[in-house]
Amino acid sequence: MVGVREPGMSGEDRDRTALLCVPFAGAGTAFFHPWRALAADRWRVVPVELPGRERRILETPYRNVVEAAKNSVDDIVADLGEGTRTVLFGHSLGAVLAYELVHLLSTRGVRVERLVVSGSPGPWTQREKRATGLPDEEFLARVEEFAGFRHEALDHPEMRDLILPVLQADCEMHENYVPSTDEPVSVPICSLRGSADGLVTADQAQQWRDATRSDFSYVELPGDHMYLVDRGREVLDVIERRSSGGR
């Protein structure tokens, strides 16, 4: 199971455009649960659930983005339903994983309408700042530097033992990511960035222009690399404006 299936979902819910939310490094579906209330009647929020966290905590996490996308797509299609209108959102690691999923979903009967990427350079740009391979403490310090904050769970030994292997695997697959194809997608792309992001520059965030044969837009919101932690409503408002053709 990849997404979160909602029990007792009505036909009206199924008819709504799905907002498929792909997590950033170390995150799970829980991060996007508040977005369901924020989305109201606009979308059916469907978070992607990856191995190594939450209900899949006993499963081995992926270390390769392309493999993760290929192994997840069948469950995602089953969760969305064939023919479902879908907007994809992904932040940082989630951005490149969402990009790979667009290529796959477009051939599986899912009507992908837009890709919204956040906090990410273009898919062909290798990450310059890296954490992969560092000893645990140095790794966590580097990730904290990237994110601009330290998750309080990492200060509790038992939680840290659960989170650290997943975070390390996620960083490895992000930092070693090589796109599966040089072909741009055919759907519009909107690239979002925190205005004070010290990990991804404005020029890098706008590299996504070359990843689509369709329309491209770029939006900055206040905050650093993890701006979306406190700005879920603003992110959804941007997605709505872009989806309706607004600026």
Q: What is the pLDDT of residues 206-215, one digit of tens each?
A: 999 999 999 9
Residue 176, CA distances (Å) to 40, 107, 171, 201 in order: 37, 26, 8, 19
Q: Which has the closest alpha carbon to 49: 69, 22, 26?
A: 22
Q: Could you list the pLDDT tens digit for every one of the 247 residues in the chain?
A: 454 444 434 444 556 799 999 999 888 899 999 999 999 888 999 999 999 888 888 899 999 999 999 999 999 999 898 788 999 999 999 999 999 999 999 888 899 999 999 999 999 998 777 888 888 888 888 888 777 666 677 777 777 777 888 889 999 999 999 999 999 999 999 999 999 998 899 999 999 999 999 999 999 999 999 999 999 999 999 999 887 665 5
pLDDT of residue 8: 39
What distance in Å separates the CA atoms of residue 99 and residue 78, rounded to the nearest whole number? 19
pLDDT of residue 4: 45
What distance in Å separates the CA atoms of residue 70 and residue 231, rounded to the nearest whole number? 30
**Tens-place pLDDT, residues 173-200:** 999 999 999 999 999 999 999 999 988 9
pLDDT of residue 16: 78
